[in-house]
Structure 1
């Protein structure tokens, strides 16, 4: 590529691993050999998006909305989401929000339940922050008009797995949707906030070891936005697996972007597989909330025998144990699912407390008031993520992370049910005291047009994503072993190396900050497909590498070839770009 413009700052590191062949640099050189011609800005009915912001928040689920709401007043905030249509994973959350609100409950009980579920890897200071700040967050939500269910005595609570008290607040079985509705109403009133949907972030902008902005696809132009701080609130990566309760945008791109930029990620081998996802051929794996079992629903096989009868806690044992019990029973019987009998809950309570679940079942031709429904484990939540401190700061200055994309230390090796929505709220509120350095004067943007003179990659990225999801489910699903993980890692690394040669992807990733490149609609479509595949491959590489590294079983990570937990593995797994996996001590252990 050529340009008559002045020299630009050095481009950010691409973040590709050392296993990549020399072909990657050749692809970048080839991309820069393309012609670049100055063009006039394209006419648009929308106001041009400024190139400089105090804070850019990526993600508009509960974590992103709460962050935008809690940031200090007076800041210019840009709230981005990569999709304009499908809802965030937060909206799909059914069960509720855990907080101590009853006189017969206590902070210490909630703390101990969380530590116990986390299998020795919870950072105690993070757990204490979550539990002690939770009641204040509930009060904040009530002020915002959150419509929690109530009883004559006050807020209604339910019991979920591994909780010793009824402390889960809910809004029927659509708690996540009610939460997002309440937050959205308030966020849109915030002065100085601009929300843009359908604007994907492509990579972070790193300068002198600090995150100073990001690259986005803005209405057909790839451009750079400078920011005093970037907050990743983009959710988890459950859609990396073939069977998941997560929406398609839960592809883990925030983790991939952060790692590629040099931020530290942690505990990515720990994925929570929810035991009761609705399992019908051709239908999405709709979550059947654990709260249903908390009210009396029971798991059984086709013979009416409980697969969890030998577990302490039975149907309400920790999710990792229940999921493994179901997976083993399914394998032993050669079936694709087991059954959940909801009839013990009773018609009146089911209709009052779980109308969304009943409605979805009826849409699919199921009659849970008359007979059991088919369920099986599915990827649900990622305990690992971008390593953060108690103020949501990552190891890369200027970059913050909130919600499922982050690894705060709260969840350890296995998340306690209904702690995740509260984690979004508590750690977003930690950004109330964010302090920013003054931004430099905005620089002029150089608008260019991309001219492709090399053949595009022939493979279909969408078909490859399907293949990758099956691979991750088979090799890194509920149960794992070196025999499956090792060849899977080899395949992922090989495909990453091949994809690095794609001219469009490599060229865009090595653009200089300040360049705004115009793409035609076909180029935009192709770039987003390649970008999604590339980010998923990065995440799969990190997941499989971490699962191989931890040669034991603990929480959501189970190795058939190393089924016991080992005391010396009571440490966090840490991964950084260009370094082998390492460990870090658990705080408060």
Structure 2
């Protein structure tokens, strides 16, 4: 096995990993910092995906003079988190967000402006206009700028490597990781590791995530002894199914009052709306609540789309029809120019034809439990970005995912550098062995089946029968030798067990058999690996 030596290994090349690498090298330039990127640096990962009309990063500058400040921002996070967001992490995010964004501006990130003044937009879960954007490419622009600065500092980048597992020394400290480039195994030895691998949308049949987001970071951290939190909470929302592009439908598109029909041409939203709630009302609420969440009545739209599909009235692609042909091209270009142009380029003119949309997994709120500096509790192991849990709670304001990457990427990078600087030399491991079996035809079928059963039972609508079906499926294939299959089964088990334990509905977690929010469940579910190797769940 080939060996590469460094002081700090950053696993991931998105906004969180890039910020962590930049800060670590800037603080301690004498340290050798390596970024391991699955794909090309600057072109892979969810940060670099342009999948919406506008992608925001939150900071309470109050550029729109609507009274925003760090205290209002903190309250928004705690309110949307529904009692499950970590107050300490939220306070840090609220207090440090402006400084981190100012640093990005100083490095050259150019946010959308009007008459020379940066504009801010009000996104889901925000009471003020707080989000700065670079159109739909905000994450991509942040990574582009950080990539340039990282290169100047001398951070080394290993591209097209899939990190599969962490390596621990005899002293229990993390001292590197094992990865695969093509068919060649690589051991990257390090004094400390930062995991910044994003979420796991690709384990579900329908998602708006790139190929690399399979939850590898969670699995390797779990096996190393890190704790996971809030794993039952992740974001699901409407996206384009046909034409076949990764693009979500939100904001102004719902204010245009689209006509939603199933495969039989029936308008269906009204039958899912309770007495006293009009479909038009639900669509207005949906414009300010992209992800499915029980905290607003916009939930009825998401439930309707999902049920039409699961009950056999959806299209062949898995969705329903979305029709705004009653809206002029001029209005579409004015209200949703990026959405209109992207779909036009994909072959669909919204002013002339309907498209198909469905519910997709987008972003995760739970993950690796960290402290205020990204430390995981496993010596030598830090984490930042979507792979972490705690700051977002049961739901989160739109635009908070990106600022999370910058605030805690900054903190994790610096803390990791300080830790690595305190270690005189790395643990010496004479022999690294890693058993990796190739994926068989049966493994491929298991992965395909898991994507289908996870989507059906772990996304919009959950109930005991469906969750138990997931666990039975996992048990029937548990112990497969291929690590990719192992990870898929482990992740399904973690999510299903947490969702089964939480007998209520809260935030993005909806239990059809427990539809109400229960104040007694204002508790967080913590998951760690038991001595027998199975997930152990505790309440925090």
Does the Cα contact within 8 Å between 1:212 and 1:227 map onto a contact in 2? yes
Structure 1 equivalent of residue 37 of structure 2:
81
2:395 corresponds to 1:419: no
Q: Match for residue 76 of structure 2?
A: 113
CA spacing shift, 1:297–1:196, aligned 2, 3 Å? farther
Output aligned runs, 1:212-251, within 5 Å. Answer: 212-218=175-181, 220-251=183-214
Whether contact under 8 Å (1:388, 1:394) holds in the other structure is: yes
* Residue pair 1:242, 1:473 contacting (<8 A) in 2 also: yes
Match of 1:101 in 2: 61
Say yes or no: does 1:126 pair with 2:89: yes
Residue 91 (structure 1) aligned with residue 48 (structure 2): yes
Residues 109, 465 of structure 1: alpha-carbon distance in 2 compared, 3 angstrom cutoff: same
**Any conservation in 1 of the 2:305–2:358 contact (CA below 8 Å)?**
no
Q: Distance in 2 between matches of 1:261 and 1:444?
A: 16
- Structure 2 CA distance for aligned equivalents of residues 118 and 538 of structure 1: 26
Q: CA offsets, 1:302-349, max 9 Å, x none?
A: 349774625894532462233553332553593332526498797378
Q: Secondary structure of the residue that 2:511 maps to in structure 1?
A: coil
CA distance in 1 between counterparts of 2:438 and 2:285 reads 55
Is 1:58 the counterpart of 2:26? The answer is no
- 1:495-510 to structure 2, matched below 5 A, reads 495-497=477-479, 499=480, 502=481
Using the alignment, how far apart are the partners of 1:493 and 1:538 within structure 2? 10
1:403 aligns with 2:389: no
Matches of 1:343 and 1:54 in 2, distance apart? 59
User: Following the alignment from structure 2 to structure 1, what is the Cα–Cα distance between the partners of residues 439 and 142?
Assistant: 42
Could you tell me which residue of structure 2 aligns to residue 201 of structure 1?
163
Of 130, 133, 138, 1:170 maps to: 133
**Cα contact 1:323–1:377 (8 A) shared by 2:** no
Separation in structure 2 between the aligned mates of residue 148 and residue 199 of structure 1, nearest angstrom: 32
Equivalent-residue separation in structure 2 for 1:539 and 1:572 (angstroms): 18
Kept after mapping to 2: 8 A contact 1:297/1:340 = no
Q: Which residue of 1 aligns with 2:103?
A: 140
Q: 2: CA distance between counterparts of 1:369 and 1:90?
A: 30
Match of 2:292 in 1: 320
> In structure 1, how many angstroms separate the alpha carbons of the residues matched to 2:461 and 2:397?
20
Are the structure 2 counterparts of residues 555 and 111 from structure 1 closer, same or farther at C-alpha, using a change threshold of 3 Å?
same
Cα-to-partner distance string for 1:283-313 (whole Å, 9 max, x where unaligned): 244223x34459x444542349774625894
Aligned to 1:301: 260
Corresponding residue pairs, total: 498
Residue 348 of structure 2 is aligned to residue 366 of structure 1: yes
Structure 2 spans left out of the alignment, 5+ residues = 262-266, 271-277
Given the two structures, how large is their TM-score scaled by the length of structure 1? 0.78
Query: CA, structure 1 residues 447+121, in 2 after alignment: closer, same or farther (shift >3 Å)?
Result: closer
Aligned residue in 1 for 2:509:
557
Structure 1: stretches of 5+ with no match in the other structure: 1-40, 42-48, 503-529
Look up the SS of the partner of 2:524 in the other structure: strand
- Post-superposition CA distance 1:386-430 (Å, at most 9, x none): 1111101102111111111111x2210112111000000000111
Q: Secondary structure at the match of 2:474?
A: helix
Cα deviation for residue 555 of structure 1 reads: 0.8
Describe the superposition over 1:410-453 as per-residue Cα deviations: whole angstroms up to 9, x where unpaired: 21011211100000000011132442232436758669999x9x
Q: Classify the secondary structure of the residue corresponding to 1:440.
A: coil
**Partner Cα distance (1:549, 1:458) in 2:** 34
- Residues 175, 426 of structure 2: 8 Å contact kept: no
Separation in structure 1 between the aligned mates of residue 515 and residue 433 of structure 2, nearest angstrom: 56
* CA gap 1:83/1:138 in 2 versus in 1, 3 angstroms: same
Match of 1:150 among 104, 108, 113: 113
State the alpha-carbon separation in 2 of the partners of residues 197 and 424 from structure 1. 20
Is the CA contact (8 Å cut-off) linking 2:245 and 2:346 kept in structure 1?
no
- The structure number with the bigger radius of gyration is 1
Distance in 2 (CA, whole Å) between partners of 1:448 and 1:475 is: 37
Query: What is the SS of the residue equivalent to 1:68?
Result: helix
Equivalent residue in structure 1 for 2:322, among 317, 328, 339: 339
CA distance in 2 between counterparts of 1:231 and 1:342 reads: 48
1:438 alignment counterpart: 423
Q: C-alpha offsets along residues 74-126 of structure 1, whole Å, 9 cap, x if unaligned?
A: 22101001224862100125421111122322222222222221121111221
1:264 aligns with 2:234: no
- Asked whether the equivalents of residues 96 and 175 of structure 1 are also in contact (C-alpha less than 8 Å), the reply is yes
Q: CA RMSD in A?
A: 3.0
For each residue in 1:6-53, what CA deviation from the matched residue of structure 2 results, as whole angstroms up to 9, or x when unmatched?
xxxxxxxxxxxxxxxxxxxxxxxxxxxxxxxxxxx9xxxxxxx76332
**Structure 2 CA distance for partners of 1:147 and 1:351, relative to 1, 3 Å:** farther
Note closer, same or farther for the CA distance 1:363–1:312 as it changes in structure 2 (3 Å cut).
closer
Distance 1:324 1:444 in 2: 55
* 2-structure distance, mates of 1:536, 1:237: 9
The equivalent of 1:462 in structure 2 is 444
